[in-house]
A and B are shown apart, each in its own frame.
Chain A
Amino acid sequence: MKDLVMETRVDTQTIKIKAEKAQVFYGTNHAIKDVDVEIMDKTVTAFIGPSGCGKSTFLRCLNRMNDTIPSCRVEGSITLDGDDIYDARVDPVQLRAKVGMVFQKPNPFPKSIYDNVAYGPKIHGLTRTKAELDEVVESCLRKAALWNEVKDRLHSPGTGLSGGQQQRLCIARAIATSPEVLLMDEPCSALDPIATAQVEELIDELRSQFSVVIVTHSMQQAARVSQRTAFFHLGNLVEFGETGQIFTNPKDPRTESYITGRIG
C-alpha cells in the first residue's frame, strides 16, 4: 500500500530555500509579514491564496525580481543552500540563472525557437561549441516536452507557436541555464486544459531534477502537482504543510474557508 501513495510524499528532506522572518515593503505598504518557510529540494511547493495576498510578491523575492521595483524593500533572511541571496556580493543575474522563472503569460523573445532556448546558455557562457549548444537546446526542448512538435522548425519565430507551446518554450528557456530552482507564477492560467495537463506533467518530471515553486489560483492544480502547499492571506503565511493534509484536513479555519470556496 505504501508504494501507491509515494507520489504524494516529499522525497527529500534537503532544504533548498529557507526564509526567516521575511518582510517585504512597497513604500509604506507592508506586503509580506514575518514569513518563515522552508522550500525542499526536488519538491513541488504550491503557493495559494486570494489575489493580493502576497504570494507572487514572495515568489519574486526568491530570485530578487523585486530588486527592479524602486520602492520595494526586503528584510529578514532568505537563503539558497544556506547562502543569503540578498548579500551584497551576490550578483542577481547569476542568482536568476540558478533560480529560473516562468511567468503567467508566455513571453518568448521575438527570436527563433532555437535562439529562445540558446540565449541563456550563450550569455552565461555555459557552452563552448555550436554542437554543445545544439545539444543543450535539444535536451531542454525534450525536457519541456516540446521537441517533437518543433524539431523541424527550430528557426521559425517562437511567437508563432500556440499558447501552450509558447509556455513550454518558456519553460525550456528557463531550464536551459541548468537552474536549481524553478519559480512559476501561474504558468497555466493562459492555457487550455490539454496544454495545462502537459505543463503539469512536465512540472512533475522536472521535480526529479529541481525544486519547483508554483503560484496558482487553481486549488485543483495545487492539489494535482504539489507535494507541499503554502497558504498566504493578507501578507501572512497562514499554513504550510503536506498538500494532502492541506486539502483534506487544514488546521487553520482561514485555509479551510479559502480552499473550499467560502467567503473568508
Chain B
Amino acid sequence: MITEQHILSAFDRDLESVQAMIMKMGGLVEAALSDAAAALETQDEALAEQVRKGDAAIDALEESVNAECARLIALRGPIAGDLRTVLTVMKIATALERSGDYAKNLAKRALVLGQLAPIPGAAGAIRRLARQVGLLLKDALDAFIARDAGLAEDVRQRDLEVDQMYNALFREFLTFMMEDPRNITACMHLHFIAKNIERVGDHATTIAEQVIYLTTGTLPGGDRPKADLTVEGQ
C-alpha cells in the first residue's frame, strides 16, 4: 500500500476525513450493538431507548460519507489505490448503516421482551453472540485502517464461529417453543435478534472482503466457510 503523501495535500485531507467518518460510524455501531445486548440482558429500558434514538446519528454519518465521496470523485478524480479507497469507504458505510439498523431493532425487541416471561439463559447467550460479532466488526475496521489483508482474511474465517453460535441458539429456541407454546412470542423475538446479529457478522465479513479488495485490487475468490445450517432443514 502506498503510504506517501499526495503532492496536493488537500487530497490527503479529503481522503483522511472520509476515513475518519467511517471510524466514527464503526465506533457508534459497535457501541450500539453491545449496548443493545446489555440492555436486553439487564432489562435496562433507558439504555435500549438510547440505542434506538442513537441510530439517527449513524444514518446521518452514512449520508455524510456518501456526499463526501461524491465530492471527492467529482473534484479529485481518484484513481488506482485512491479510487479503491473511495469505493471501499462507500461500501463499508452501507454495511455499517445496515448493522446499525439491526442494533436498533435489537433494542426495540429488548423493550418488548421486557414485558414477557424470561427465557432462561437466552439473554446471556445473545450477549455472547453480540460480543463475538462486535469483535469481528472491530477487527474488520482495524484491518481497514491498517490495510491489513491478513487480519481481514482472519475475520472472514471467524464468521464461521458466529454462524455456529447462531445455529446453537436456533435449536435452543426451537426446543423452548416445543416445550411450552407460551414461550413462542419471546422465542420468536429472540430468534430474530440472533438472526440479526448473525447478519451483522455477515456485514463484518463484507467489510473484511472490501479491505482485501482495497489492499490487493481483487475481491477474495472462492466461497468462505459457512455454517448457517438452519436453512438446510435438519
Hey, which bits of chain A sit against chain B, CB under 8 A? 219-220, 223, 246-250, 253, 255-257, 259-264
Extra contacts, 14 of them, besides A223-B79, A263-B4 (Cβ < 8 A), are A246-B80, A247-B79, A247-B83, A248-B79, A249-B80, A249-B217, A250-B80, A260-B2, A260-B80, A260-B82, A261-B6, A261-B7, A261-B11, A263-B7
Hey, which bits of chain B sit against chain A, CB under 8 A? 2, 4-8, 11, 77-84, 217-218
What separation, in Å, do the CA atoms of A219 and B80 have in the docked complex? 11
> Which residues from chain B contact A259 at a C-beta distance below 8 Å?
79-80
Q: Which residue of A lies closest to B83 (CB)?
A: A248
What separation, in Å, do the CA atoms of A48 and B84 have in the docked complex? 21
A-B contact pairs, 13 of them (CB 8 A): A246-B80, A248-B80, A248-B84, A248-B217, A249-B217, A256-B2, A256-B80, A257-B4, A259-B79, A261-B7, A261-B8, A262-B6, A263-B4
What separation, in Å, do the CA atoms of A16 and B174 have in the docked complex? 70
Q: Which residue of B lies closest to A249 (CB)?
A: B217
- Contact partner, B5, options A220, A250, A256, A263, Cβ 8 Å: A263
> Which residues from chain B contact A249 at a C-beta distance below 8 Å?
80, 84, 217-218
What separation, in Å, do the CA atoms of A263 and B12 have in the docked complex? 13
What separation, in Å, do the CA atoms of A261 and B6 have in the docked complex? 6
Measured CB to CB, the closest approach of chain B to A217, in angstroms, equals 14
What separation, in Å, do the CA atoms of A243 and B11 have in the docked complex? 23
Measured CB to CB, the closest approach of chain B to A220, in angstroms, equals 6
Measured CB to CB, the closest approach of chain A to B14, in angstroms, equals 12
Measured CB to CB, the closest approach of chain A to B76, in angstroms, equals 9
What separation, in Å, do the CA atoms of A253 and B4 have in the docked complex? 11
User: Contacts A223-B79, A248-B79, A248-B80: A260 and B217 contacting too (C-beta < 8 A)?
Assistant: no
What separation, in Å, do the CA atoms of A250 and B2 have in the docked complex? 11
Cβ-defined contact, B80 with A264, below 8 A? no
Q: Which residue of A lies closest to B8 (CB)?
A: A261
> Which residues from chain A contact B2 at a C-beta distance below 8 Å?
253, 256-257, 260, 262
Cβ-defined contact, A262 with B79, below 8 A? no
What separation, in Å, do the CA atoms of A255 and B79 have in the docked complex? 11
